[in-house]
């Protein structure tokens, strides 16, 4: 055990109690990230410079995009958690599947569901799916950052035992000091990846449809795999073959898909138009 251990800043996960309704930081992180992401997306689609000749969704339609993506993220996040992280429990307790308020969401599933929602939105609006995806990926690190902070406050998804000076004793995690891996993920998946997205857009990534999405997928996958080396695996799964975790395995297809999108986007002429998707 290290000589010095940072005290865990115990914070009530319920931010405010409105009568019988508790407002939790976890739920608030979803709401704030969606609203802030929507505001930034509104600003981006009203500017011509980042897009050039590439078509993008209208500012008016972003209200609907928010609904499509939010529902997709919640449904996909829950479904992936059920299938990949705790299937035996939910097979034995099927009535627990809809109980998302008790926790249990997968980011990989949430992103898959959000992508499906964006695809359906693109078909309805007859705009390019890659442009919609680029816009969503540009603001996604906001949700990642706030979500990981909410994980830290709860607390959940803590790190592996550690002897570093900033190790913490998490309530419910046993007597050993641990890595504050939620903060590592907030920094890499949220702040660092958000900076990459901002620089990419500033450099004209929107003009090559799919490039922003590809950079996000590769960046997230690498950040998640790196953080998994410090994060305690889910107790019902533990370590998989070779010390890998489920988070690592689910990130590999993201990295491959992101790399393919980057190659596809860079091989196209900047500003080249793809056919719109008609329903």
Question: Which position has the token pair 């005290």?
Answer: 7
- d(Cα 33, Cα 19) in Å, to the nearest integer? 25
What whole-number distance in Å separates Cα of residue 216 and Cα of residue 229?
Answer: 20
Q: What are phi and psi of 168, to 5 degrees?
A: -130, 155
Instruction: Phi first, then psi: give them for residue 150, nearest 5 degrees.
Output: -65, -40
Helix axes 129-153, 25-45, angle to 10 degrees: 150
Question: Is the bond leading into 155 cis (omega within 30 degrees of zero)?
Answer: yes
Contacts of 168-172 spanning 24+ positions with Cβ under 8 A = 168/5, 168/6, 168/7, 168/8, 169/5, 169/7, 169/8, 170/8, 171/8, 171/10
Radius of gyration of the chain (CA): 20
194 C-beta neighbours (distance < 10 Å), count: 19
Q: Where is 131: in which H helix or E strand?
A: helix 129-153
Q: Which backbone phi and psi does 54 adopt, to 5 degrees? A: -75, 130
| 148 appears as a binding residue in the annotation | yes
- In the annotated binding site, the residues are 148
């Amino acid at each position: 055990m290290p000589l010095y251990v940072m005290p865990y800043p115990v914070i009530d996960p319920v931010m405010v109690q409105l009568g019988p309704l508790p407002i939790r930081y976890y739920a608030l992180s979803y709401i704030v990230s969606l609203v802030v992401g929507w505001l930034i997306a509104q600003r981006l689609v009203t500017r011509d410079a980042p897009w050039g000749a590439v078509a993008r969704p209208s500012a008016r339609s972003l209200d609907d995009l928010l609904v499509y993506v939010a529902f997709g993220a919640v449904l996909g996040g829950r479904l992936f958690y059920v299938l990949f992280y705790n299937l035996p429990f939910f097979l034995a307790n099927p009535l627990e599947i809809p109980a998302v308020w008790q926790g249990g969401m997968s980011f990989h599933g949430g992103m898959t569901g959000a992508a499906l929602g964006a695809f359906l939105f693109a078909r309805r609006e007859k705009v390019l799916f890659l442009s919609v995806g680029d816009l969503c990926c540009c603001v996604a690190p906001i949700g990642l950052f706030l979500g990981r902070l909410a994980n830290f406050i709860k607390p959940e998804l803590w790190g592996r035992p550690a002897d570093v000076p900033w190790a913490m004793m998490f309530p419910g995690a046993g007597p050993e000091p641990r890595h504050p891996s939620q903060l590592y993920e907030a920094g890499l998946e949220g702040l660092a990846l958000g900076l990459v997205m901002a620089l990419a857009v500033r450099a004209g990534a929107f003009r090559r449809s799919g490039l922003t999405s590809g950079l996000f997928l590769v960046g997230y996958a690498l950040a998640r795999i790196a953080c998994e080396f410090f994060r305690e695996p889910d107790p019902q799964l533990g370590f998989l073959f070779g010390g890998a975790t489920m988070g690592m395995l689910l990130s590999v297809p993201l990295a491959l898909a992101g790399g393919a999108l980057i190659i596809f986007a860079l091989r196209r002429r900047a500003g080249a138009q793809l056919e719109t998707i008609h329903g």
